[in-house]
Copies of this chain bind each other. A is one copy, B any other.
């Protein structure tokens, strides 16, 4: 068998800067979860979760680049807030599978709900 010439890695889909990758990281999800109650300063996030400050800043940068958070300066603090509308791509993508989801396994779920309704009526 002839050894084929090595071609080399093809230009890979440049990662970060798409929402799917942004939320793939657990720590970034934790940060988003922390912001769900309202805007927070970086230091508050650092305290709430226990991550280093540079780590938080860098993750916030990634989240910012995909639009999932916005920043507002107040004195020497930066208040970050959620921009949940930018989860749309993710939401829409998952929604495509809900039909299939309902068609397959969640028949059982419907069945259970039906039983429940009948139980309530008696």
Contact = CB atoms under 8 A, between A and B. Distances in A.
Contacts of A115: none
Contact of A91 (B18, B24, B94): B94
Interface residues of A, number: 29
Contact of A85 (B83, B84, B96, B106): B106
- List the number of copies, as a whole number: 2
Interface string A91-122: 10110111011001110000000000000000
Contacts of A91: 94, 98
A29 B20 contact: yes
Contacts of A98: 84, 91
A87 interface: yes
B26 A24 contact: no
Nearest to A81: B104
Given A90-B94, A105-B85, A100 B20 contact: no
Contacts of A97: 32, 36, 82, 84, 87
Interface of A: 13, 18, 20-21, 23-24, 26-27, 29, 32-33, 36, 82-85, 87, 90-91, 93-94, 96-98, 100-101, 104-106
